[in-house]
Amino acid sequence: MDLRQLAALVAVADHGSFTAAARALFTAQSNVSAHVARLEREVGAVLWDRTHGRLTDEGHLVVDRARRVQAELDALHGDLASRGDQVTGEVRLGMIGTTARWIMPRFLHALRQRHPGVRTIIVDASTTSLLPQLVGGRLDLAVTNLPVDDPDIDTERLFDEDLMLLVTTDHVLAGRADVDLAGLVGIPLLLPAPGTALRGDIDAEATRLGVTLEPAAEVDGVRLLTSLAFEGFAAAIVPATAVPGWLKGDFTRVPLLGLPRRQVGLAWRRRTTLSAPARAVAELLREVVATRGPRQPGVHTATVARRDDTS
């Protein structure tokens, strides 16, 4: 087994065919086929179902391991290329969209000034999409909702964020000074998807109050929730940064009482050593949150100086 065989299988899995994998690897299709076939002989299992064009169960196991091997090799190259104050290499960073909106402009500017040799690939997605990519080695770091209940991931809390109710100006609750979940009974709501950290907090408070909320839709993605609320589909429970202060329109924000603040943190794979470029990116993210977070309405960064015990 060699690295070319693993790279060939990962490329086939990523691109869906031997032909597409060959194009991505800048080689001939016959080379990709040969590498995968040799790997299958060595492990004694069929890894790619050639009839249906997909990984077998054994193939998924091998690809998951292969991605981690590739991630460690990338980290090794990054460490060797980074000497002294000169940090060089690639970092794959995932980030939830509402947080990316205010962090990324400052972060990318600071990164270009301080570490011009670091190339970042940024993935904008929901927490439920980012975590599997992080565990599988497709991402080096991710900024996600907390808590993260995964034995393969460590986290560090970056900031907390107020929740609010977003409604159009003609909504029945638009004139309220504030509202709690009991005041939302009978109101169709746009809610986070079941199983997400934010939905768990909402459901826990509803249970404590003994109330049942009426979902108009359940969405795994805060930005889509917000967009639907802007369009007047229904009221939405969203974090404060989902609606930036500069944005104007026929909507209003109503403070939401009784719910804990949303927690946002930095996540990485447990039992792995971050590369020098990834460590530089993580440190810069902390700095941006510490300096810019207090300027974001509803964001609280008092916990940023305290790293979690798991780190």
- Are residue 185 and residue 228 in the same domain, yes or no? yes
- Are residue 211 and residue 226 in the same domain, yes or no? yes
Contact of 103 with 285, CB cutoff 8 Å: yes
Which DSSP symbol is given to 175?
T
Structurally, the chain folds into a number of domains equal to 3
Domain that holds residue 113: 82-157+264-292
Q: What is the CATH number of the domain that holds 216?
A: 3.40.190.10
pLDDT attached to residue 306: 41
Tens digit of pLDDT for each residue in 31-73?
Answer: 888 888 888 888 888 988 888 888 898 888 888 888 777 777 7
Tens digit of pLDDT for each residue in 84-101?
Answer: 668 888 899 999 999 999
Q: What is the CATH number of the domain that holds 27?
A: 1.10.10.10
- Are residue 208 and residue 254 in the same domain, yes or no? yes
Residues 6+ apart with CB under 8 A from 118: 87, 88, 89, 90, 91, 111, 277, 280, 281
pLDDT attached to residue 310: 35
- Are residue 28 and residue 149 in the same domain, yes or no? no
The span from the CA of 140 to the CA of 91, in Å, is: 6
Instruction: With a cut of 50, list the residues of the chain below it in pLDDT.
Output: 303-311
Tokens of residue 107, six digits: 């972060």
pLDDT attached to residue 308: 40
Single-letter amino acid, residue 203: D
pLDDT attached to residue 305: 39
Whether 89 is covered by a domain: the verdict is yes
The span from the CA of 154 to the CA of 188, in Å, is: 36
Give this prediction's pTM. Answer: 0.74
Q: What are phi and psi of 270, to 5 degrees?
A: -75, 155
- Are residue 153 and residue 171 in the same domain, yes or no? no
Whether 297 is covered by a domain: the verdict is no
- Are residue 122 and residue 268 in the same domain, yes or no? yes
